[in-house]
Amino acid sequence: MAAGLVCISQRKNLRHYDLGNGKELTVNNARNEWAMKNHDCYGSASQLAVKLGLADNSDFSKAFAEVEKLYTERETTSATFGYTAVSRPVWDFTDTCHPKDRELGRMMTRYGLSMETVKLYTLEGSLPQVKGGKRERVLAMPVGEGADCFMAFNGKIFRQIGEGGISTVGQRRKDQICMVYENPLDFLTLMESATRNGVYPLMTRRYHIIINGKRGLAEACEYLKANPDFLEVRCFMPENEFGIKAFTAINDAVKGTAIDRTDMYRGFGSLFAKHLPKVPETYRKWKSMRIEVEEKETRNVRQKQPKPKLDITPLLGGEKKAVIDRETGGLKL
């Protein structure tokens, strides 16, 4: 990840990465080892750093700098994103396709999502930036039944294209469980977790509703009122004021039978936030110790050295004391 690779797929402890040259890299996180399709090409993490050009023999300073950069980014990565609308006159989403832009792939990899999951549920398109006339690549999920409305994401904010509303995934079935999410990232996170842990087929049989913020809440409630044949309605709302309001509205719509699943990410704020790649605790402790050492060295440099005291006792014969001679003005013993 520190090398800017794109994660193709994940299965338990295995992560498969695209090297960008037609080759694929597999990393075993549990063993801290890697291998390529060529069976003669495998090794430890340090050997991988050398192979990727991040280290030279025993010099791993460049690799460590990249890791520090990655961990600093993780410490400042936001887990919540706002919403803004894109007016129709400047909207151009005609080049929609399945995601293949490497920068988008790197972005989703940093969020702990693989392209296998992203390609299943999102499309790639181009939009004008919020500020300036330049265009940016975004990922988007369809909104509503029409093909001209999307909820797009550029890594910083959700951008509503066309009319607001809910996004739905899955086919209606008998005795079906309905899963309700606040935004597309929460949905993608749960699908990624299901794929990684081998329970994805179970998730495909369920019906998924993404309310896309405040705009889709009323529509989601109306849909659930009109479809009382769901076996269960499970909610994955964020742990904030809007999340409480949204769950209350949905619970009222289904006559008090909704299930609050915030227990799955208690203390993290949202499903997406819980599964974000974290900074290892060992690195945090090492960084804290390094900061303490640097601060101590800085204090020692800035501290003023005390002036040496002039002691003339040895010159006067040890313990003897000198007094002023009032006649000559000198000292006498």
DSSP string, 22-53: S-EEEEETTTTEEEESSTT-EEEHHHHHHHTT
pLDDT of residue 286: 77
Residue 93 vs residue 19, higher pLDDT: 19
Tens-place pLDDT, residues 259-278: 999 999 999 999 999 999 88
Rounded to whole angstroms, how far apart are CA atoms 242 and 67? 36
Structural domain containing residue 224: 83-275
Same domain, 170 and 221: yes
Nearest to 77 by CA among 279, 326, 305: 279
Residue 120 lies inside a defined structural domain of this protein: yes
Same domain, 132 and 266: yes
Give the CA dihedral 190, 193, 197, 203, nearest 10 degrees.
Answer: 20
Nearest to 158 by CA among 190, 105, 122, 132: 122
User: What value does the mean pLDDT take over residues 162-169?
Assistant: 90
Same domain, 69 and 154: no
126: exposed, middle or buried (C-beta count within 10 Å: 0-12, 13-18, 19+)? middle
Question: How large a percentage of the chain has pLDDT more than 90?
Answer: 39
Same domain, 215 and 134: yes
Residue 52 lies inside a defined structural domain of this protein: yes
Same domain, 160 and 217: yes
- Judge contact between 23 and 17, C-beta under 8 A: no
Rounded to whole angstroms, how far apart are CA atoms 101 and 133? 20
- Judge contact between 109 and 6, C-beta under 8 A: yes
In degrees rounded to 5, what are phi and psi of residue 85?
Answer: -100, 150
Residue 329 lies inside a defined structural domain of this protein: no
Lowest mean pLDDT segment, chosen from 63-72, 216-225, 228-237: 63-72
Strand order across the 150-153 sheet: 83-86, 158-161, 150-153, 135-142, 123-128
pLDDT of residue 257: 96
